[in-house]
Amino acid sequence: MPEGPLPLVAIVGRPNVGKSTLFNRILGQRRAIVEDLPGTTRDRIYGEAEWGRTRFALVDTGGLLSDEEIAQASQRDIAEATRQQAELALQEADIILFVVDAQAGLTAGDWEIADLLRKANKPVLVVANKAEKRQRQFEAMEFAALGLGEPIIISAAHGQNIGELLERLTALVATLPHAVPAGEDSATTDAPHIAIVGRPNVGKSALLNAITGQPRQIVSPIPGTTRDAVDTPLTWKGQPIVLVDTAGIRRPGRIERGVERYSVLRAQRALARADVAILVVDASEPFTAQDQHIAGAVLEAKAGIVVAVNKWDLFEHMEGAEEAYRETAQNAFAFMPWAPIVFVSAVTGKNVEQVVDLALVVAAERSRRIPTAELNRLVQEAVHHHPPPSKPGKWVKIYYATQAETEPPTFVFFCRNAEGVHFSYKRYLENTIRRAYGFFGTPIELVFRERERSAPGGPEKARSAARRPTRSALRKT
């Protein structure tokens, strides 16, 4: 459950009754994968919503199956774990939306879930979904027989009667002692977002469970178990953070159509809103081109990165193994020599705390700002020691530099013949800045611009002209 004052509303029901469609409808965005397949949602997926002057957290869950249905499932372990995740959501929730299928009518599974909800002893709203047609709306009244109150008849796919549902829901939320009015910031609005990424089956969900200290995600040896990018807000040593577990990222040519394709898109979108990514690699397998591809995706998203070498419990008894593996890893990720590497075991808990601490250090580095005067002294010393290579008639001259932005740190160099700055000289300037100021674990951007002859301006004007929205500002919008 998200840390902070927001009340939590859980959406539960049988598989394929439209829980994720309702979740997306209330949030106003496609956060959960929606597919006409039973069991598409497996883990708990959190979001924040508001209606009128009331704010609340919302959690989508996997379908609740009966014991008989689980016994007949093709992947019984995952079916059982999915039900456990839904039951955990029930324990956390303040209010429950029990979604039933007006098209299918009242089923034995609905009765079984209703019995479970009565034992939970929490406010329940019965939501009869898929009632687009007038005849179904009349027939949906049969769900009143469950004894949980008169059903609210809706169509999540078409947006019918969602307003009435939200009015009834927020009226219940407002009665809770920790209700939060709309417009007040939650504890996680500006919290660092840490995405856990990697190839399928390298232990991403196991690492998240080790960090949170509870089975927050389903863990299975079957590759592709995690399908959605799942936000887990929590407090780490007094600091609010948001962990984002993602589906394993595969090469585009190996991505199957349907649910897996959407999963990869969600993972990539998770990177777009992450401050730092923990790249999980498998110590028991050689580095692959896919590991490098994912690291490249992190850098393309301009996020910080920590490389977590998982399953190290298999090798920690071997003398010299860590030094040898670190050298191999540095060669594999030669394009980001500034990225920290930490050896962890999600099974034993080895260095799990350290990997989160490192991610927070990297998040802080992304916010580091260098005063313009200091930066220009450093740049001028670097240029004096090693002038930029130039061709006759196309001389390169660097006039001044300014840090235009943070998250990621972005430096703008105003030059004569900006297009003539060679990539090797850009790397030299980047290394100079890193030696002086660190920027541990985070990419930095160097932008070279032609100085306007008519209005050279100055560092302050340059910083203002180069400024752009930060990732945290984008999250707020």
The model's pLDDT over 354-403, given as tens digits with 9 standing for 90+, comes to 999 999 999 999 999 999 999 999 999 999 999 998 777 788 999 999 99
14 shares its domain with 160 = yes
Mean pLDDT of 70-78: 55
449 shares its domain with 404 = yes
Of the chain, the end-to-end C-alpha distance in Å amounts to 23
* Model confidence pTM above 0.75: no
**CA triplet 280, 78, 124: central angle to 5 degrees?**
110
SS3 category, 284: coil
Position 146 pLDDT exceeds 60: yes
Distant-in-sequence, close-in-space partners of 329: CB < 8 Å, separation ≥ 6: 281, 287, 307, 309, 341
| 187 lies in some domain | no
Percent of the chain with pLDDT over 70: 73
Continuous segment of H or E residues that includes residue 294:
helix 289-300
235 shares its domain with 326 = yes
Which pLDDT band holds residue 29 (cuts at 50, 70, 90)? low
Question: C-alpha distances in angstroms, 434 versus 81, 351, 412?
Answer: 46, 26, 15
| 54 lies in some domain | yes
314 shares its domain with 411 = no
- Mean pLDDT, the chain, as a whole number? 79
Query: DSSP characters for 29-74?
Result: S--S---SSTT---S-EEEEEEETTEEEEEEE-PPP--HHHHHH-S
174 shares its domain with 216 = no
Position 73 pLDDT exceeds 80: no
Question: C-alpha distances in angstroms, 42 versus 12, 28, 212, 267?
Answer: 12, 21, 18, 16
| 1 lies in some domain | no
Domain count of the fold of the chain: 3
76 shares its domain with 152 = yes
Q: Which residue has the higher pLDDT, 442 or 197?
A: 442
Nearest to 284 by CA among 221, 196, 357: 221
Position 466 pLDDT exceeds 80: no
Question: Are the C-beta atoms of residues 204 and 280 closer than 8 Å to each other?
Answer: yes
Burial of 276 (0-12, 13-18, 19+ CB in 10 A): buried
Q: Which domain holds residue 461?
A: 372-476
268 shares its domain with 339 = yes
Question: C-alpha distances in angstroms, 40 versus 34, 230, 270?
Answer: 7, 14, 19
